[in-house]
A and B are shown apart, each in its own frame.
Chain A
Amino acid sequence: MLYREAGDFKTSYAEDSQTFPIVIDRVGYYVVLAIAFGVIPFLINDYWANAVFVPLLIYAIATLGLNILTGYCGQVSLGTGGFMAVGAYACYKLMTAFPELNIFFCVLLAGGVTAGVGVLFGLPSLRIKGFYLAVATLAAQFFLVWMFNKVPWFYNYSASGQINAPERTLAGIVITGPHTEAWAKYLFCLVFVVLLAWLARNLTRGNFGRQWMAIRDMDIAAEIIGVNPLKAKLSAFAVSSFFIGIAGALFFAVYLGAAEVGEAFGIQKSFLILFMVIIGGLGSIFGSFAGAAFLVLMPVILKNVLVGMLGWQTDIAAHLEFVIVGALIVTFLILEPHGLAQLWRIIKEKLRLWPFPH
């Protein structure tokens, strides 16, 4: 009986609908938070920040965003890369146009701009569904990348066509630019992750979340019980794009430092994040983290094993990495189509009964 809910009685409805109704889950959550804020910043170095933690945190935000749209509201999108680009360029324009503006607000506002753009590209979802909507969002992806390439205003007419993040500080600590320390990047992203995961959790457990899921599960019945499809779908697009825009802004300003749109925010990004959502589990906040972690860690682990332990050549290992990650995704989806979140639920159910399965 390692894991149990027996004896853990709820005495109010508020307690019953809290985020972690089971004590062990709640304790686990606080332990993770304590390590994330109290331990990792002191141990982190450039390698761990750039190879693992910062991309993990940023992809977790993007995955949460796409999961709200696709997992909770049932609207498939292949435009994630394009929306991340909107966040990145909005952040860049804000940083260069208003050098005094705090970087925290630049990132937040970049999310706001992306939310607006997301709503615009979400309009077709009122008429088209499923596969056709996916194609429409794909068009958005290509259009946005093309636009950021072709309109020099977006990259401030720089000769290279790239955007470069100028140095910005928060409370005297450098957050962007080449002089940023690993722990500062990590903590800055971590704050956004915690904040956004909390918002996502609140939205999905309440009235908005239920309306999104109702649209996902049966849109006609949803409308007949009072869900306004326009409001439900566009709010999902707005919230989702807000998250993805923030992820894009952080990806550019904090992680990359310099970006070229096609390379950083191309269609591969859209697919990568969709994979993260699917592997983690559609309609699960925990799954968003699990999926992002899986696809960020897998290549790192593989590289360490193949190159570090087996002594393979780096380029061969790099190619094989794709094959192995791809094979893992396929195998995984066949074995557990509901993703890591479902796997975790099953393990917990087993633990609840262990060691007396009857």
Chain B
Amino acid sequence: MTQDGYTTPDGRKIGSVVMEMKNITLRFGGVVAIKDISFDIREGEIRAIIGPNGAGKSSMLNVINGFYHPQEGEIWFHGARRAPMKPYEVAYQGIARTFQNIALFKGMSTLDNIMTGRLTHMKAGIVAQAIWKGAAEREETANREAVEKIIDFLEIQHIRKTPVGRLPYGLQKRVELARALAAEPKLLLLDEPMAGMNVEEKEDMSRFILDVNDEFGTTIALIEHDMGVVMDISDRVVVMDYGKKIGDGTPDEVRNNQEVIDAYLGVAHD
């Protein structure tokens, strides 16, 4: 691996470091959720974060999101140190995510949920919106076109107008991915995108994640419990246990790391 990237076994070019976490420590009162963790995410990469329950994986995404503020450590994004930010400011920097427990807007249709994901691209002020004709309508139509592309891409045309509360679990997960993609993020964070899915749904979701990475060049960081999936789709893996980092490397390196085997893989299914 060189300073400005590497080439994956399947021939994809991985670029320079986009996001770098330096010595992050996050505490909740007495609980240390993240203990002095450093790792980086490179441009175009699919980066997995794995670890047993309660290891601190979701907390790490929340730190990247600006939802939790670590007591110690630095976050570097696109080569600059990031000042503490509110979550919505982070969204404007091009970081989008999905949630471990689906966090869709239940009272809205699939289309409206995904359109909401476009809001960082919409500028019309409240007066233009109230008058609608002109700027606001043009902006709405342009963004609707972008959203329709994502709807086609994720094959959810048939549920466009359905209230999301009525959708089955697997489709809700897909709509949530669509909402995150609608932002056209530079960095996409996925918190257990395949949890609770059956084999077929998992295969679909894996394919979508690979396609997103391939077609839009989106950098992806994902948390996943299914080892088969992680080993299949990720380029590099961070392993966490009790808030500490115990491994970091390619799937093969991680698979053969004794500490990881002891702490995690040994107790997992395979």
Contact = CB atoms under 8 A, between A and B. Distances in A.
Interface of A: 12-14, 16-17, 199, 202-203, 205-208, 210-211, 213-214, 216-218, 220-229, 235, 239, 283
A14 B183 contact: no
A211 B91 contact: no
B97 A224 contact: yes
A210, A216, A218, A229 — most chain B CB neighbours (10 Å): A210
B217 to A, nearest CB: 21
Interface of B: 65, 67, 86-88, 90-92, 96-97, 99, 103-108, 112, 115-117, 119-120, 122, 124, 126, 129-132, 136-137, 139-141, 144-145, 148, 179-180, 183
B183 A214 contact: no
Contacts of A222: 105, 116
A226 B90 CA distance: 8
B116 A208 contact: no
A206 B107 contact: no
A231 to B, nearest CB: 9
A216 B107 contact: yes
B130 A203 contact: yes
A250 B54 CA distance: 58
B168 to A, nearest CB: 19
Nearest to B61: A224
Given A199-B130, A225-B183, 13 more contacts: A13-B141, A13-B145, A16-B144, A17-B144, A202-B130, A206-B124, A207-B129, A207-B139, A216-B105, A224-B65, A224-B90, A224-B91, A225-B96
A115 B103 CA distance: 32
List 10 A-B pairs, minimum CB-CB distance, nearest first. A226-B91, A221-B103, A217-B105, A202-B132, A13-B144, A226-B120, A207-B122, A210-B116, A199-B130, A223-B87
Nearest to A196: B130
B131 A223 contact: no
Nearest to B115: A210
A213 B108 contact: yes
A283 B67 CA distance: 29
B106 to A, nearest CB: 5
Contacts of B122: 207
A203 B105 contact: no
A203 B129 contact: yes
A239 B144 contact: no
A218 B106 CA distance: 8
Contacts of B144: 13, 16-17
Nearest to A213: B108
A16 B86 CA distance: 35
B107 A283 contact: yes
Contacts of B96: 225
Contacts of B131: 202
A186 B65 CA distance: 53
A206 to B, nearest CB: 5
Contact of B119 (A199, A205, A225, A283): A225
Given A213-B108, A224-B97, A239 B120 contact: no
B107 A211 contact: no
Given A13-B141, A207-B119, A223 B86 contact: yes
A214 B87 CA distance: 15
Given A206-B124, A223-B86, A225-B91, A211 B119 contact: yes
A235 B145 contact: no
A149 B136 CA distance: 43
Nearest to A217: B105
Contacts of B104: 217-218, 221
